[in-house]
Amino acid sequence: MEHIIKVLPYLLEGIKYTFLITIVGVALGFVIGAFAGLGRLSKSKIIYWLCTTYVEIIRGTPILVQILFIYFGLSDLLGINLDKVTASIIAIAINAGAYIAEIVRGGVQSIDKGQFEAGDSIGLTKRQTMWYIIWPQALKRMIPPLGNQFIISLKDTSLFSAIAVGEVLYQGKAYTAAAFTYFEPYLMVAVFYLAITIPASIILRRVERRLDV
């Protein structure tokens, strides 16, 4: 019980980085994913293959490899020295973006083609049809998988302890190294993640019911 109380300040410090990396990273990932997902629907072969290559490379490699490449590899190759938090945000953004791209692509493709024809019939351009008719409907259908991706990315932040980012797991490991005890600190690390992900899942289900998706 003693270590459960003593580890709390460590984990509370770490949770700030966990939220920062997740929220900023997934927000940037949504922007990347939206462009890549729409690019996967483009009739331009160049845009299609560029976006497809990005999605397949990122989805085909572990996020841990990606963060190590971004933090160490870019520094070695190009002399780009990123701080740990920035590198982690970039890794989450790039990784989440690839999965969000498929969510976006699937969401847009789920809309009946008649909606495109309807936009054309009232004189809207393809871009206007996408923005005013297709995108709002598709976005509604994307909410459940986007929520799941947020939770996945949040848990993925634990891997950034590999480059000593002070998130929840790293702080738990720091405490174990100082106190020479493992069960209670790692139990509390698990409790902290559950305390974040379970409410997020509940909120997501309520949003789904409210939007009837």
Helix (H, G, I), strand (E, B) or coil at 81: coil
Confidence class for position 20, pLDDT limits 50, 70, 90:
very high
Prediction pTM value? 0.90
Write out pLDDT tens, residues 124-154.
777 888 887 888 888 888 988 999 999 999 9
Write out pLDDT tens, residues 79-133.
778 889 999 999 999 999 999 999 999 998 888 877 777 777 777 777 888 887 8
Q: What domains lie within the chain, and their CATH numbers?
A: 2-211 (1.10.3720.10)
Q: Report phi then psi at 42, rounded to 5.
A: -70, 150
pLDDT at 123: 73
The H or E element that residue 189 is part of is helix 183-211
CA distance 129 to 164: 47
Higher pLDDT, 53 or 7: 53
Any idea which residue has 């969000």 for tokens?
100
**Tally of CB atoms within 10 A around 149:** 22
135-156 and 84-109 are packed helices; what angle lies between their axes, rounded to 10 degrees? 140
Cβ atoms of 4 and 179 closer than 8 Å: no
**Tally of CB atoms within 10 A around 139:** 14
